[in-house]
Structure 1
Amino acid sequence: MLHVLRSPLQRTLIPLQWRFQRCLFSFKPHSLQGEESTENRMNPLNIQMLSKNLHDQIFRGQEPEYREEEVERSIRHLQKHQLWGKETSMLPEVELKLPQMYGNNIDEHFRILAQKQNLPYLEAATELQLAEIPAMPQEWSWEVGWTRYGPDGESQKVDFPEETALVFDVEVCMAEGRCPTMAVAMSPTNWYSWCSKRLIEERYSWSNQLTLADLIPLETSINSARPPGGQWKERLIVGHNVSFDRTFIKEQYLLKGSKVRFMDTMSLHMAISGLTGFQRTLWMANKMGKRRGLQEVKEHFKKAGQKREGPAIDSWDWVNISSINNLADVHALYVGGSPLKKEAREIFVKGSMADVRKNFQELMQYCAMDVDATHHVFTEQLPLFMERCPHPVTFAGMLEMGVSYLPVNQNWGRYLEDSQDIYEELQREMKKSLMTLADDACQLLQDDRYKEDPWLWDLEWDVQEFKVKKVPVSKKSKKEVETKVGTSLPDSEEDPGPPSEEETEGPCPSRLAVEKLKDTLSQLPKRRQHLPGHPVWYRKLCEKMSAEDSWSPGANLISLQMRVTPKLMGLTWDGFPLHYTDKHGWGYLVPGRRDNLVSEEEEGEGPVCPHRAIESVYREYCEQNSKARPQYQDCHPQRTSCGRTAPCGPRWRSLAPWRV
């Protein structure tokens, strides 16, 4: 439970708990190298263990104790799987001198190392958490590079912020590429703002190739790759989704040097009270007021009879003590108060650099408000993270994983382009295959063959008739039409031979056919019909004809996410055709099943289930997989999942819900 989220006492209890624990262990390494030995160490199950040399160094010579009943149980388990007595290969013994160990065992060794590694960053985090943040500037400097704002409101141009701990946020004008546009940083004593050259200096064009000079310096001067004095300092940068901001920091692209580490409030939130993928869907439904959807989920679990560990899904208290990962919802969860205003973000997403210049003060204030919100969230999260993840190695691992990088050359760009091209080609091939399946399925409309298809029998096969306007015809026009019709067109199957003299002097037959076709133009309705003569489900997959260049004929709207796709692909579950109903969701049809008949189902009109075809599909599956086919006792008619009575019709069985 997160009942301590807003507890004021928790801030003062944060404590450098790991700093004080270092007195429990000695930082002086002990040398306990084992004597060299060539004897193979084996356990009672004849499994090779660590060599004596490594075992003595790691476990300080302590030998494990084996209980007789545990050994016998292990032997029985191996015999059950026919593994007992098997010959195993023996690896050569390893004689390796390990680094000297701290503490008395492995746990103490890594705990001490992590505490030693974490100490400067934990001190910086605690300083930032307990600090009284100065007032935010009312006006921001329109100047390239970093500007520092003191407690009294004075501003001063600096090379970079020098404090040990910072809360940091970067904004990017997406229309201008991947170059940082502006940034705001906050320390326990000062506020900072940064502006790029591309924002301040108006040029006709800028290079698309970024250099280190385009990035944000946090430890070095503009034209330098070394810090003042030549010594890199341990510093901590806090941000929400800070890995995004890290990509715009100049020193992070230097292969050696920087000792800056990052703490991500989004990652802290996920460790404290994050959501699983399924919970995220329910949380979003709850936020949007879709209580009906939540009720359907509970009904599905009840009918599916699935066993779930933990408390029942009757209580929705967890919805109020967690949130999704964006800053606005995380801030509302841990801090509360007025919701964050995120409207200005759209200027960075959809606007141009001219729009950013026009709204500079407003956008800089927006960036600063995000920094302030991130600090408040961090203040509440840090004690909770220490409580839930107390081991110092967890903190050390998070810091190290936050500064990983992948050195690349021009091959990386080519790899990305090739991967994108291959992906797009596969997408086109997949869509073409699905369109072909949809076109082939339309052929089942002839002679109502779809009624015997195990997958497509319940689709909307209604056909829209072709509409023709009735045009009044005068007697004179009628006589002219009859005259034209009287001139018969030659039969294409017979060889007419050379034309006669009358045919040569008369009108051309092909011209008569074209004129006859033109005469029917007036019978077309003013509003063009959408694919008359095709079934409803197919028309839904096709775009309506338009003059736009993007229009193309065929079922080009089809995708893997549509419910009709598994049916067109003929998917099965252990040989049973997949089936979808609005009431139950996805399931599969089992021929001859009656034990899962739902008594409350009511008879209704609908398509008749092709039970024989479904049984044939399962029979073929059993033959292909050499699986025994069950004998069905088809004595009485039963209700099918479509609501109609049919002899020994297939029964619907629920699957765990999955989206198609």
Structure 2
Amino acid sequence: MGLQPCFLLRYKTGRNFLLKLFIRQLCVAKVLRRDKQELIFNEVNIQMIDRRLQELLFAKRIDSYELSKEACERLKSHGINAFDRSEGETPYYIDLPRLSGSNVKEHFESIASHLSKPYLQIIGRLSSLPEMPKSWKLLPGWTAYTKNSYFRVDCPPDEVLVFDTEVLVNEGHAPAIAVAASPDFWYLWVSPRLLSSMRLSKSVIADDLIRFYPDGSPLSPPKCIIGHFVSYDRARILEEYMVEPTGLRFLDTMSLHICVSGLTSTQRNLKLASDKHLYNNKLWKDFVAEHNSRSGSNDPESLDWIKGASLNSLLDVFKFYCQKEPYQNKDLRSLFEKGSKRDVIDNFQALVTYCANDVIMTFETFQILWKLYQERFPHPATFYGLLEMGSMYLPINSSWIDFQERANQSYDDLNKKQKMLLQRLAEDALQRHNGSDRRWYRELIPKPMKDNYKGGPALITAQMKLAPKLLRLCWKGLPLHYDQILKWGTLIPGRVPKPIGDPRYYEQSQSDESPRRQILPAFKVTKMSAAGPDELIFPYREYLQYWMKEMEERLCGVNSRTAFEARSNPDPRDDVLLGELRRSVELMPLDLDTVKRLISSLKKISDGSRGEQVNSKAKGALFWENKNRYETNNSVRWTSASRRKKLRRSATDTINPEIPTCWFCPLPNEAGTGLPVGSPLSKSFQVHIASGRLYSSPAAGGSEDRYADQILHDHIRASFWQSYSKRVIALRKGTVPCGRRYGAILPQVIAAGTISRRAVEPLWLTASNADPERLGSEIKALVQAPPGFCFVGADVDSQEMWIASLIGDSVVGFQGNTFMQHFEIYYSGTPYGWMTLEGSKAKGTDLHTKTANLIGIKRNEAKVLNYARLYGSGLEFTKHLLSKFQSNLRPEEASLKAEKLMRATKGRRVPVDMGEGWKGEAEIKYIWKDGTESCVFNALEAIARSPEPRTPVLGAQITRTLTPKVVKDDVSSLLRCIFHDFNTSGMKAAFEKLHHLLCLFTRWVFIFFLHLFFVKFLPSRINWVVQSSAVDYLHCLLVFMAWLIKKYNLCARLCISIHDEVRYLCDQRCTDQIALALQVHRLPFCLSYYDNYKLPFPLLFFQISNLLTRALFAFQLGMHDLPESVAYFSSVEIDTCLRKDPLNDCKTPSNPDGLEVTYNIPKGRSLTITEIIERTGGAMEPFDNEACESATNASQSA
């Protein structure tokens, strides 16, 4: 046959395996040229998956659907043409592994139980702990303790342990002592560093870490370690840094607590205020005032959820669940934080007992929490997903240290450059101060406090209050102003001025035709000559330029009168405000025609307004910026007494008494409306600098001074590393063990860190992707696979949007069979689901493009609005985002756009008479109608308002602090809880609640409040439904991946999961054989050596897992089919480093040459489902480890 010698060698070493590969490759063409399946479209012309897969997954074959003209007409009313069928392609077919059951649900429950069973069994054996030893021995390594004796051990042999470590902060990140307890023994580990006479290095080596497996023993036997914030302890365990995955898993009591009784961010702040008795706290007073005005109660103790909640620390959680005081001595804690090695040895017994008491408190807390967790999260997949999320692993090499040095050097260079440019600006300001100005002007400038001020500026940084002034920062055309109380904001011209001797109302050398000709006030001024150009330097010049265009646009705009007339409750300040505006127009330097037109516009606006008694104390406020002034409908909005009081008070709150001609308008604060802004150069303002809302005004005289622009640009570039550098440094010493080229980072993840059970971690789960303008943002790409391994992963396309659309579509049935048909008369169809499944960006039919076209914004901005609405945001937040996106958008225009968007998407709220059938059921009596998302939000609110909200797929229950029964801010939900008690707690409890309710309200007041109540925590529950269901999706995906890895004996482990993104670390050896076979037989799609990174089997694992997960979600929601458009990942990425886009070279200010040049990291690959099927034939095969090793060795030797 003329075979080459290298082929003969390879054929010998892996004969059987390669023969099978050869046969399968010959069959690939046959697989790809499979018989064309008849395309199946559902009721609204959405293509469904292959019928063989549909029958296998749902155990109910559906051969055809009848087009629903009624549903298509509904979609057409929303601008969606579902009558035209798109040109579909033959659906993909993958030869799925044998399922353990008749459908995907039975299979999933079987494999989830199988995977979680070993850990559930060993946890079940942890019923009690032995008595804690009275004394401890100062011996290096592990020592086991029984009741009356002790003995040395290599490692604890027990399968389940409660564990805690302590670190000497001043001596580095290595553990100093650790205590573990099992049902039979107590264990103490003492660091050899503690007993060493040598001076300790802060570098960590392998011998400094704690072992849990003896040398030479297999790492696969399952073990479970329980701790509070256990990922901190995990980072001190040696086996966790090995590439080979172990059977060791970690169960975090903090995560269990957050799942069971976690708090929202607002609740957490209120809880802190309550615990510390900070009842003068603004947030607390606002919340209690609003609560009391609705409920009629003035007792803060009546807020049950506060009494039934806890913060997340071990001490707080122990007190909350065990109802007793902690065993700890807080003074001992400071020895670990500030003490030395000698302090630990001198206080050894007390410090070990302190650590052991942590173990006891963790165990006692776990005993109570574990029962609650199993009741509220009964599915084994939820438990297994929690364990998997606690085993994240990020491999690195020596490039990690190089990256930190480069980023730090670049950051230092930018800082030096910023200081130099600021000094130049300060020197320019000093020169103007020392110049030959008019005497009267120089007398206005405060004299320096120090005599040596001529020595030149020094120690100036961008964080100083002086910096924004030196940079001449403006916000939307107005210069920034700093007030000691109000902090940073702008001064809006408009109050009645007092221009006697004030140069800002004069200009020199203006022609008669100029719109800014000199205007003399009605009274005599004492200044003899008009102001010169030096007297009109920043900021006065900016005020004039701003005012000329601002008054015309605001008062002559088409929306001004409409907004004024549409307000439902005219304010007593209206006449005062309009009067001040009229007097301001008369005195500002505008041409006479403009003044007349503006005055005429003011009269037109005020005509027809109802007369109200003028509040003489009101001295002016921003009428046009008052977001609570306007209502687009004619309904009367209920306003609490505290809110009305706040509205009256705000007239004087915005006044800066030191500047009598202006109103003070604070800069927007992301933390909350009205909160002061400490620095306009903080991180939250980077987006405003980039968009041009916050900018540097040109220097006086029109000089081309670019210093300020350079400083702002450099400030944006340095912001990322400024925020994240400390977190990175904290990882540096504990990652790459001393003397080794390869190491790992163990992210300190709280596996369920929010009430929606999302993972929380300060660096890796929040860091942005590589950005050319962000120094250090290539950080993720410096996580590199060790030799012989690579990363395989994918992003779930529109995960949360698809889940929400699926929940909505389950009511009327687009993605499968119809169900709950008795509700259909109240819904306007599911255009949201159609746009999610079938919408096309190119055709302009996807959700984001249609939203952008509806209100005239960019598609990326529409995407933010769509997700914010899905998470429960309402009209006010929509207006806030619109104003943020478009700096020139007027408040009244933002209101009109927001209302238009809400009407088109959520629709309008209409009442529905549910009759007698809704008692005790999770149904709603007010529903959304006539919007593209009405069906979705009705379904989401139905879950959120139920007595015990649970996710529809895995049945995860909401945290106890958000259940309607506890929060009691939604009367309709409370009434359902009453009827729910008929079935759970008996008649007596229900009648007592009902009697109490009827005593508080008559029937008509009750109905009134049902309609008008602002449900404070309902948006949080809606957000929980969506995000917690997305966590269910992740857990299902992890379970399917773990099953496939185990079934096919693949060497792979979870690397990281960032919400909708999953990455696995996989062995490359199986790829070597496939690449070898392709090269020998010279197939048309022969791979290059680099294409070894195209791991066919792991790629197919991802696609199979995604298909099964999507099918499971559909099945759990009563559907028996799945659209082709969501069945598979759009692509699966293969790479040697961790980056979002495998083709991105990640060029940043700290990495200007890119990854390939600087770190020798080649580009990765992104493969579609078509390419994956081409390389695998659409079928799986077990990984032959021995054959791969022999083939790889032969390939390397050849």
Q: Do the two structures share a fold, i.e. TM-score over 0.5?
A: yes
CA contact (8 A) 1:438 1:568 kept: no
Task: Tell me, in whole angstroms, the C-alpha distance in 2 between the residues paired with 1:169 and 1:315.
Answer: 38
Which digits, 9 at most, give the CA deviation of each residue in 1:522-575, with x for residues without a partner?
xxxxxx68989xxxxxxxxxxxx9xxxxx9543665289x9x899974335xx8
Is it true that 1:116 corresponds to 2:114 in the alignment?
A: yes
- Which amino acid in structure 1 is aligned with residue 311 of structure 2? I
Instruction: Note closer, same or farther for the CA distance 1:299–1:65 as it changes in structure 2 (3 Å cut).
Output: farther
Q: Counterparts in 2 of 1:339-488, with a 5 A limit?
A: 339=326, 340-422=328-410, 465=447
Corresponding residue number in structure 1 for 2:62: 63
Q: Are 2:182 and 1:187 equivalent residues in the alignment?
A: yes
Which residue number corresponds to residue 259 of structure 1? 247
Query: 1:245 offset after TM fit, Å?
Result: 0.8
Q: In the alignment, what sits opposite 2:655?
A: 642
Q: Say if 1:314 and 1:368 are closer, same or farther in 2 by CA, change over 3 A.
A: closer
User: Unpaired segments of 5 or more residues in structure 1?
Assistant: 1-34, 448-460, 468-527, 533-544, 546-550, 594-607
1:135 matches 2:131: yes
8 Å Cα contact 1:272-1:385 kept in structure 2 = yes
Describe the shift of the 1:429–1:139 C-alpha distance in structure 2 as closer, same or farther (beyond 3 A): farther
Matched with 2:475 is 571
**Conserved 8 A contact 1:36-1:53:** no
For the residue of structure 2 that corresponds to 1:116, the secondary structure is helix
The alignment yields a C-alpha RMSD, in angstroms, of 4.9
Structure 1 residues 205 and 235 mapped into 2: Cα distance closer, same or farther (>3 Å)?
closer
Q: What displacement does 1:90 show?
A: 3.6
Q: Secondary structure at the match of 1:261?
A: strand
Please tell me whether the aligned partners of residues 577 and 588 of structure 1 are also in contact (alpha carbons under 8 angstroms).
Answer: yes
- Which 10-residue stretch deviates more, 287-296 or 369-378? 287-296
Closer, same or farther: CA 619–234 of 1 in aligned 2, 3 Å = farther
Q: Following the alignment from structure 1 to structure 2, what is the Cα–Cα distance between the partners of residues 141 and 180?
A: 17
Match of 1:147 among 134, 143, 151: 143
Q: Work out which of the residue numbers 198, 203, 206 in structure 1 matches 2:193.
A: 198
The match for 1:286 is 274
Taking a change above 3 Å as real, the CA distance of residues 94 and 65 of structure 1, as seen in their structure-2 partners, is: closer
For 1:298 and 1:438, locate their aligned partners in 2 and report how far apart those are by CA, in whole Å: 43
Distance across 2 between alignment mates of 1:60 and 1:335: 48
Q: Distance in 2 between matches of 1:637 and 1:446?
A: 39
Q: Deviations over 1:27-62 (max 9, x none)?
A: xxxxxxxx9752222223322221223222222244
Cα separation, 2, equivalents of 1:61 and 1:433: 72
The question of whether the paired residues in 2 share the 8 Å contact of 1:53 and 1:94 is answered with no
Number of equivalenced pairs:
500
Partner Cα separation in structure 1 for residue 374 and residue 665 of structure 2: 53
- Check whether the contact 2:656–2:664 (CA below 8 A) recurs between aligned residues: no
What amino acid is the match of 2:46? Answer: I
Structure 1 position 231, deviation (Å): 7.0
Q: Match of 1:50? A: 49
How much has 1:648 moved relative to structure 2? Answer: 11
Secondary structure at the counterpart of residue 198 of structure 2: coil
Partner residue, 1:502: none
Alpha-carbon distance, 1:360 to partner: 1.5
TM superposition shift of 1:219: 1.6
Q: Would the aligned equivalents of 2:163 and 2:226 in 1 still touch at CA under 8 Å?
A: yes
Evaluate the alpha carbon distance shift between residue 78 and residue 353 of structure 1 in structure 2; reply closer, same or farther with a 3 A threshold: farther
Alignment equivalent of 1:232, drawn from 215, 220, 226: 220
Q: What is the TM-score of this pair, normalised by structure 1?
A: 0.63
* Selected match of 2:103 from 78, 102, 105: 105
Whether the 8 Å contact between 1:172 and 1:180 is mirrored in structure 2 is: yes
Residues 174-205 of structure 1 deviation map (CA, whole Å, 9 limit, x = unaligned): 22222221110010111100011111222245
Cα separation, 1, equivalents of 2:452 and 2:272: 36
Distance change in 2, residues 1:212/1:318 (3 Å): same
The Cα shift of 1:619 comes to 7.3
Give the counterpart letter for 1:118 in structure 2: S
2:78 to 59, 77, 80: 80
Question: 1:485-634 residue pairs with structure 2 within 5 A?
Answer: 552-554=458-460, 557-558=463-464, 569-572=473-476, 617=546
Distance 1:421 1:49, change over 3 A: farther
The AA in structure 2 aligned to 1:117 is L
Judged with a 3 Å threshold, the aligned counterparts in structure 2 of structure 1 residues 73 and 368 are, in CA distance, closer, same or farther, namely same
In 2, Cα distance between the equivalents of 1:77 and 1:444?
A: 67
Mapping 1:300-315, distance limit 5 Å: none
- Indicate the SS of the match to 1:269: helix
Does 378-387 or 271-280 show the bigger shift?
271-280
Quote the Cα distance in structure 1 between the aligned partners of 2:275 and 2:308.
13
* Alpha-carbon spacing, 1:137–1:252, altered in 2? closer, same or farther (3 Å): same
Aligned residue type for 2:145: Y
Structure 1 residues 337 and 554, CA, compared in 2 at 3 Å: closer, same or farther?
Answer: same
Partner Cα separation in structure 2 for residue 381 and residue 148 of structure 1: 28
Name the CA distance, whole Å, in 1 between partners of 2:676 and 2:656: 24
Paired residues of 2:425 and 2:470 also in contact (CA < 8 A): no
Q: Counterparts of 2:310 and 2:320 in 1: how far apart (Å)?
A: 7
Determine the C-alpha separation between the residues in 1 that align with 2:85 and 2:452.
Answer: 72
* Alignment-derived partner of residue 322 in structure 1: 309
Q: Are the aligned partners of 2:44 and 2:67 in contact in 1 as well (CA < 8 Å)?
A: no
Distance 1:353 1:646, change over 3 A: closer
- Name the amino acid aligned to 1:134: P
Between structure 1 and structure 2, the one with the greater Rg is 1
Q: Match for 2:212: what amino acid?
A: L
Task: Quote the Cα distance in structure 2 between the aligned partners of 1:183 and 1:651.
Answer: 55
When structure 1 is superposed on structure 2, of 405-414 and 334-343 the one drifting more is 334-343
Change in 2 beyond 3 A, CA 1:589/1:37: farther
CA distance 1:197–1:102, change in 2 (3 Å) = same
Q: CA separation of 1:240/1:205 partners in 2, compared to 1, >3 Å: closer, same or farther?
A: closer
Q: Which structure carries more relative contact order (alpha carbon 8 Å, separation 6+)? A: 2
> Closer, same or farther in 2 for the Cα pair 1:95/1:159, shift >3 Å?
same
Please state whether the residue corresponding to 1:41 is helix, strand or coil.
coil
Q: Does 1:271 align with 2:259?
A: yes
Indicate whether 1:40 and 2:53 are aligned: no
Indicate how the Cα distance of structure 1 residues 443 and 231 shifts in structure 2: closer, same or farther if over 3 A, else same.
closer
Cα gap change, 1:36 to 1:96, in 2 (>3 Å) = farther
- The 3-state SS of whatever aligns with 1:72 is helix
Q: Give, as a single letter, the amino acid of the residue that structure 2 aligns with 1:336.
A: Q
Q: What secondary structure sits across from 2:175 in the alignment?
A: coil
Q: Does 1:217 find its partner at 2:211?
A: yes
For residue 231 of structure 2, the aligned residue among 219, 222, 243 is: 243
Aligned partners of 1:434 and 1:466: how far apart in 2?
19
- Residues 410/328 of structure 1: CA separation in 2 closer, same or farther (3 Å cut): same
**Amino acid in structure 2 at the alignment position of 1:325:** N
> How far apart are residue 317 of structure 1 and its match?
3.2
C-alpha distance in 1 between matches for 2:167 and 2:73? 63
Q: Is the 8 A contact 2:487 2:666 kept in 1?
A: no
Q: Is the 8 A contact 1:591 1:650 kept in 2?
A: no
- C-alpha displacement at 1:284, in angstroms? 2.6
Higher helix fraction (1 or 2): 2
**Offset, 1:88:** 4.7
Partner in structure 2 of residue 9 of structure 1: none
Q: 1:652 to 1:406 in 2, by over 3 A?
A: closer
